[in-house]
Amino acid sequence: MAELQTIAAAIREDVGKGASRRLRRTGLVPAVLYGSDRDPVALTVEHRQVLHESAQESFYSSIMELQVDDGRTQQVILRDMQRHPFKQQILHLDFQRVSADEVLRISVPVHFVGEKNSPAGRASGVVVQHLMNEIEVAALPKNLPEFLEVDLSNLDAGDAVMLTDVSLPEGVEIPVLATTDENIMVANAVHVSESQGTGAAAAADAEALAEAEAAGLDVSEGAEAAAEDEEGEAEAEEGDTEE
């Protein structure tokens, strides 16, 4: 587990929408702390600090330490953050208390490594797709990883990395694997034909195809329907020309 980030906080007595607006005008962010079968506590944190911390990936998936102005400290995780729709402004934060003997379920980022040197990464006409950017894990606080690493160095064209292939640190589980028999694709390498192009559109088409196949859809039916549409359009154009 990475070194704890520290967030300075203060208890607030004035609550409500009007109070929250006044706090924001003074550079503070209203927040709430809950969990561990204890009463929620209304807090404020400095906007400048949390805006800076929120630029770090670990802010969203790691345990942090709240240091309250009355001297108390509490280990927490971020459960929700509300942002202004267009301003660079954080409007509200929800923190959950962390207990050393309580298993946490939280989504952690996925870091893909080895892609450039993989057979798929070096192959022409092959697109490597990252289909998941975070994975929910369950672990005690002491075992919580900052991120999960997925090694793509052996990925070849046509291969896929599934959720069951992801290496987990000791004491860490992926809850979804315990509740369903369905495996989930994390990354794959697909061929892209010349007619699909080589840019973002090609990658999007390949990703849509992979998702359809993973969902068990019959992509051949879609291809046949598209072909019929094209034939119909061609016949209509011929009719217009004859008139």
Q: In this model, does residue 9 exceed pLDDT 90?
A: yes
User: What are the tens digits of pLDDT across the range 72-102?
Assistant: 899 999 999 999 999 999 999 999 999 999 9
Q: Which of 148, 147, 161 is nearest to 118 (CA)?
A: 161
- Which range, of 90-104, 185-199, 209-223, averages the lowest pLDDT? 209-223
Predicted confidence at residue 218, as pLDDT, reads 55
Predicted confidence at residue 193, as pLDDT, reads 67
Rounded to an integer, the average pLDDT of 194-200 is 53
Rounded to an integer, the average pLDDT of 177-199 is 79
Q: In this model, does residue 223 exceed pLDDT 70?
A: no
- The CA-based angle 150-58-12, given to 5 degrees, is 155
Domains of the chain, earliest start first: 5-97 (2.40.240.10), 110-225 (2.170.120.20)
Q: Which of 76, 86, 98, 87 is nearest to 31 (CA)?
A: 76
Which residue is associated with the tokens 């989504």? 107
